[in-house]
Structure 1
Amino acid sequence: MCSGYPRLFARIVEKYGLGSKRRSIFGGTMWIIKSSEFIVRGNRLLRMYSYYSLFLALLMMIVDGLDKKDVILGQQAPYLFLVLASIYIFAASIFAAIASRNPDPQAATSYVFLEVAILAGMMYASGGLDTGFSSLLLVPLIISNLLAPGVLGYGVAAWASIAVFYSQHIWPNNFAPQEVVNTGLFGALCFALAWLTQALSKRLQSALSLASDHAKHIRRLQRFSQRALMNMPGGIIACDPSGRILFHNPQATAWFGIVDNILLPSYLIDIKDSKRVEMNGEQLLVTRVDIPESQQDYLLFIEDSARIEAEAQQIKLASLGRLTASIAHEIRNPLSALRQASQLLAETPYLESEEQRLTHIIEQHCMRINRTIEDILQLSRGHQACIEVLRLKPWLVHFHNQFEHLEPAQDYSLTIECSDDILVPFDADHLQQILHNLAANGLRYARKANHGDAQLQLRVTTNQTRVFLDVLDNGFGVAESIRKNLFEPFNTGEHNGTGLGLYLCRELCQANQSRIEYIQQSQGACFRITMRKA
């Protein structure tokens, strides 16, 4: 009676390629039939509808079985009601089985039209429109218009109207005016309900599509944010007001050894603004940032102080270099003229010995000023590090050979204490300048303290993340009066020193994310360079 049309429709769709299969926003399969705009939006709604139909069919069969006198259902045609209820259970069972696996448009369209026809027949068997049975016809009508917006949805409304008219008037040959009017009103209600359902369905679909687009965009941003947080050079920790860790990136784990859902270490909980923390020989700057409108949650940003200082140092040196270069050039030009005049004067044959001594003093001070200018110009050229991985022991042996070539080992010894497998990231030229400056200074003071027995040592030790290169001598050590400002420019303990050597060493170390410090010894001096491990 009712299944021929939907099957024919489905065959036409399949034969002429009017349909396509896509993924739905509900995570199931979505069928789109272009000619009728039939849409099954995923398994969820269709599966719930199939379970409802099966439950309704079973309930009708149970009620009819308990109602021996047929006063509730099937009053007008009990046998017809029983046959239709049996067909209803059989069809609903098959449809529920199909919907639970993989719904397709043929099963969906066929079942909707079949169910409308069955319910229309059961309504006739139970007494017609006046019994209120017609309200059960509205459920498949609403579901079909949710699943099939467009022409097919109105087709279901027309099919329901025709089925009711046929079962109420043509089949029993009853054309009473009042009943015909009621049937017409029911048909109008079907079309009105179809229009309203489709309008709401389109709005719902638009909202769901917009929500899906927003969800995709949010997931995309989350992936970007997650990747950025995981690969950022600094550490980050997200905490709740009690200090419990909600999130952290790998760098924070490497520095503090933390995991999710534990309390922060005590030295991190009391941070109000920023704090410097030392972990495994590394100076870390921890900054707290409160998150507004988040129940007092906050973030801790952890940065390597050495890297920050190196960046600040590059900015400082860029501006300082321009100033010092211009000043040094302005001094060098008249200084060259002064030195040349002094040399010409010293070559005059009629100068007395006292006058020769004065020209010698002029020459010495000109050379001292020139050395200061050379050091200043070297600072002004900047120290942009070209960092490479150095195997430290072979490099120190090479430095030892170069240093002995410049300072022949007649009255001193230079020893190296270093493991073979130590690697450090450092600019080789910068390390050469630093060690030459420290070794030359140490040798000069060691010779003064130990005539003929000056000793220098390059000693390397390590911990988990850092390498410590110590330059030791057996000289007098550094006077306590100048230790505080030892690495400041123009701070010197010698009459003819420029006070720029150790300052230059500090700047070069900072450019390589390292630091230099003076370690007090019982005898002699020790300058320690703290470097990163490669």
Structure 2
Amino acid sequence: MASTPRKPANPSPQRRELYFFTLYRVLEACLLALVAFSPAGEFLLQIREPAMLQTIVVLYMVAAISLLIAGYRSELSAARQAGIGLAIDILVAALVLATTSGSQGGVALLLLFNVGAGALILPQKAGLGFAGAACAVVLADSLYLRAIASESARPLAESVMFSVTYLATAVLCELLSRQVLESQALAEQRGEELANQAEINELVIRRMRTGILVVDGEHLVKVCNEAAWGLLGKPSPDRRQLADIAMPLHRALLTWRQGRGETPKAMTLGDGTPEVLPRFVSLSLTDNLFLIFLDDSRVFSDRAEELTLATLGRLSASIAHEIRNPLAAIMYSVQLLEEATELPEADKRLLEIIHTQCHRMNGIVQDILGLARRERSQPESIDISQFARRFVDEYRASHPLETDILQSVSERSVLAMADPRHLHQVLTILVQNALTYGRMPGEPAKVTVSVRTAPPGAPPELNVIDRGPGIPPAVASQIFTPFYTTSEHGTGLGLYIAQQLCEANQCTLSYQPVPGGGSCFRIILPPGMTLMKDEASPGRLNLA
């Protein structure tokens, strides 16, 4: 079964104008019916052909009702329906003028609205054409009456004025229709832009890391983004009252609305949720909408820590640079004094202490400068097994270990992506710490640099393991904090610099306790890639 066309939910302006046009036509038909079928019609007009007039009025009433129904159900365009209706109006006006006497003024006035309404819907040429047809009907009737009964005919100037009015009305209504269509197109464009902007705003608000709530004057939640929902403890969507969701926030908002000057305090809004710092903003002058920002206090702590570390790093680098010059002079003077032949043993011991402490201070200065002047990483694919063996050999050659043991363990070649300079610096820090602190009292240190063979698809691991006393859990949670140290000879920057260098190379550095005693610092590196030829197919390349 074919579906019946229905009136659109949002009719266009032309459809609305067509509806009122057809409704006015029904009213005209009713007025003509009153004249044709009522005894009062004889007092209003001189009807020459009553039967014909009644037939014309009945047909016009049927046509008017049919056009009114067609405006809802017909698939014809509004302009086509308006053209058909206006042609019928002009034809009926001509027939009414032909069957009556003294009705020219009334019929012409009724026809004026039809011409104007048609010009609003029809194109310019069609509107002017129908206006010209209406002019022709009025002028023809005037000339006809003047020809058969000049004494009862209306002045010709009246018909001319009606004709000019029809044409002027058609032009003005067409211009008005054009402006209406342009305004509608502009309104639709602006509406689409506003809808898009509203969708973008909703998406941005929903994805913001800052929690956002919008509540009304009764503290009913209107908008809640994902971050706020998580900070509130993920309440049920059915709970919309702020007092039911977060009573502390409800009270803080009431206090803020009363005082308008008190700064809200940090609070916890749900079980297992972080502490938040609320901020309130009024969205209207009538206090009907309020915007609540929920900031995670950890973000402020992290930002404050970053600013503190950045400032401290710049200050430390400046101080270290100023210390390095007099330190170099002291070390050079110590070297000159050590070359003296007649120097008591006690003085030699003092010079040795000065020389050792100068080297320690120089190491501190280098750590601080390395923290402040860290270069960008330039990762490349390296064989970390070979790199670890070469590092151990170089470290043994440049650092006398005496009874301490430093060895490397690797099963096969393992490729990883890292900056060799940064990785060398990280291993130097970890090995020095292991040799210094990773030993049992009275025993030599045993440090192993091992490369763990990773299964296919897993990232490679580089471990620095010692057999010392290990690190207590309370201390292990803070060993990567800058300037934190449990040794009176340390700076607390070594492990922090190592972790920063690892992060610059997209690596992770973590501490792992060793069962049975000892410490393990594990570096997880991104896997490396290389192209090598397949022995079976010399022309084929495989990715390893």
What TM-score do you get using the length of structure 2 for normalisation? 0.60
- 1:140 aligned to which of 114, 134, 148: 114
The equivalent of 1:342 in structure 2 is 334
| Contact 2:33–2:57, Cα closer than 8 Å, also in 1 | no
CA distance in 2, matches of 1:224, 1:346: 75
Could you tell me which residue of structure 2 aligns to residue 234 of structure 1? 209
Match of residue 6 from structure 1: none
- Pick aligned residue for 1:211 from 187, 192, 202: 187
When residues 253 and 212 of structure 1 are mapped into structure 2, their CA distance, relative to the original with a 3 A threshold, is: same
Residues 64-104 of structure 1 deviation map (CA, whole Å, 9 limit, x = unaligned) = 89758965899543322213531562476268537731316
Distance of 2:31 and 2:496 partners within structure 1? 97
Q: CA RMSD, aligned part only?
A: 6.3
Q: Where in structure 2 are the equivalents of 1:476-515 lying within 5 Å?
A: 492-501=485-494
One-letter amino acid of the counterpart of residue 59, structure 2? S
Could you say which residue in structure 2 is the equivalent of 1:222?
A: 198
Pairwise CA distance, 1:360: 1.0
Change (3 A) 1:384 1:124: farther
Give the distance between the partners of 1:311 and 1:384, measured in 2 at CA: 24
Residue in structure 1 matched with residue 514 of structure 2 by the alignment: none
* 1:247–1:260 CA contact under 8 A, matched in 2: no
2:371 alignment partner in structure 1: 379
Q: Which secondary structure does the structure 1 equivalent of 2:154 belong to?
A: helix
Aligned to 1:327: 319
1:238 to partner: Cα distance:
3.5
1:392-403 aligned at under 5 Å gives the runs none
Give % identity: 23
For 1:184 and 1:131, how far apart are their aligned partners in 2? 12
Q: 1:411 to 1:485 in 2, by over 3 A?
A: closer
Give the match for residue 225 of structure 2.
Answer: 248
SS for the counterpart of 1:325 is helix
> What is the DSSP-based 3-state SS (H/G/I as helix, E as strand, rest coil) of the residue aligned with 1:101?
coil
- Secondary structure class of the residue paired with 2:289: coil
Pair 1:214–1:454, CA change in 2 (3 A): same
Q: Kindly state the Cα deviation for residue 380 of structure 1 after the two structures are TM-superposed.
A: 0.7
Matched residue, 2:19: 48
* Structure 1 residues 150 and 130, CA gap change in structure 2 (3 angstroms): closer
Structure 1: how far apart are the matches of 2:98 and 2:520? Answer: 105
The 8 Å contact of residues 29 and 60 in structure 2, kept in 1 or not, is answered as no
Q: Distance in 1 between matches of 2:519 and 2:153?
A: 114
Q: Distance in 2 between matches of 1:331 and 1:208?
A: 76
Q: Which one has more relative contact order, counting CA pairs under 8 Å at least 6 apart?
A: 1
What is the distance in 2 between the residues matched to 1:342 and 1:276? 59
Of the three residues 265, 269, 290, the one matched with 2:249 is 269
Measured in 2, the distance between the counterparts of 1:514 and 1:61 equals: 93
Distance 1:130 1:108, change over 3 A: closer
Measured in 1, the distance between the counterparts of 2:289 and 2:386 equals 57
Match of 1:394 in 2: none
Q: How many Å apart are 1:341 and its aligned residue?
A: 3.5
Distance 1:77-1:317 versus aligned 2 partners, 3 A rule: farther
1:115–1:243 Cα change, 3 Å: same
The residue type equivalent to 1:93 in the other structure is S
Partners of 1:346 and 1:359 within 8 A in 2: yes
For the pair 1:89 / 2:65, whether they are aligned, the reply is no
Q: Distance in 2 between matches of 1:525 and 1:128?
A: 121
Distance 1:189 1:278, change over 3 A: closer
Q: 1:292 aligns with which of 283, 298, 321?
A: 283
Structure 1 residue 358: Cα displacement? 1.1
Q: Structure 1 residue 151: deviation in Å?
A: 5.3
Could you tell me whether the CA contact under 8 Å between 2:280 and 2:292 is conserved in 1?
Answer: yes
Equivalent residues of 1:61, 1:85 under 8 A apart: no
**1:78 and 2:54 correspond:** no
In structure 1, the partner of 2:360 is 368
User: Secondary structure, in 3 states, of the residue corresponding to 1:495?
Assistant: coil
Higher mean alpha-carbon deviation, 114-123 vs 433-442, is at 433-442
Q: Could you report, residue by residue, the CA deviation over 1:306-327 in whole angstroms, capped at 9, with x for unpaired residues?
A: 59836972x6666555544343
Take 1:427 and 1:240, find their aligned partners in 2: how far apart are those partners? Answer: 52
TM-score by length of 1: 0.61
Give, in whole Å, the separation in 2 of the partners of 1:340 and 1:451: 35
Match of 2:93 among 110, 115, 119: 119
**2:120 and 2:173 in contact (8 A); partners too:** yes
Letter in 2 for 1:136: L
- Give distance in 1, aligned partners of 2:46 and 2:445: 123
Shift of 1:357: 0.7
> Per-residue deviation at 1:161?
3.2
Q: What's the CA shift for 1:266?
A: 1.0
* Worse-superposed segment, 509-518 or 185-194: 509-518
Distance 1:204 1:499 in 2: 75
Taking a change above 3 Å as real, the CA distance of residues 47 and 491 of structure 1, as seen in their structure-2 partners, is: same
Write the deviation string for residues 198-240 of structure 1: whole angstroms up to 9, x where unpaired: 554455445445434433443343344345445x552443411
What SS class does the counterpart of residue 351 from structure 1 fall into?
Answer: coil
In structure 1, C-alpha distance between the alignment counterparts of 2:68 and 2:125, rounded to whole Å:
23
Which 10-residue stretch deviates more, 426-435 or 498-507? 426-435
One-letter amino acid of the structure 2 residue matched with residue 221 of structure 1: Q
Structure 2: 5+ residue stretches without partners: 1-8, 254-263, 380-384, 407-417, 449-463, 512-516, 523-544
Letter in 1 for 2:117: I
Gaps (5+ residues) in structure 1?
1-25, 29-40, 388-396, 413-425, 457-470, 519-523, 530-534
Distance 2:288 2:391 in 1: 63
Equivalent-residue separation in structure 2 for 1:359 and 1:167 (angstroms): 133
Contact 1:27–1:42, Cα closer than 8 Å, also in 2: no
2:541 matched residue in structure 1: none
- Residue identity in the other structure for 1:77: E
Residue number among 118, 128, 133 corresponding to 1:159 in the alignment: 133
Q: CA deviation at 1:362?
A: 1.0
1:74 touches 1:122 (CA, 8 Å); kept in 2?
no
Contact kept? 1:487, 1:502, Cα under 8 Å: yes
Structure 2 letter corresponding to 1:102: L
Contact 1:306 1:513 in 2 (8 A): no
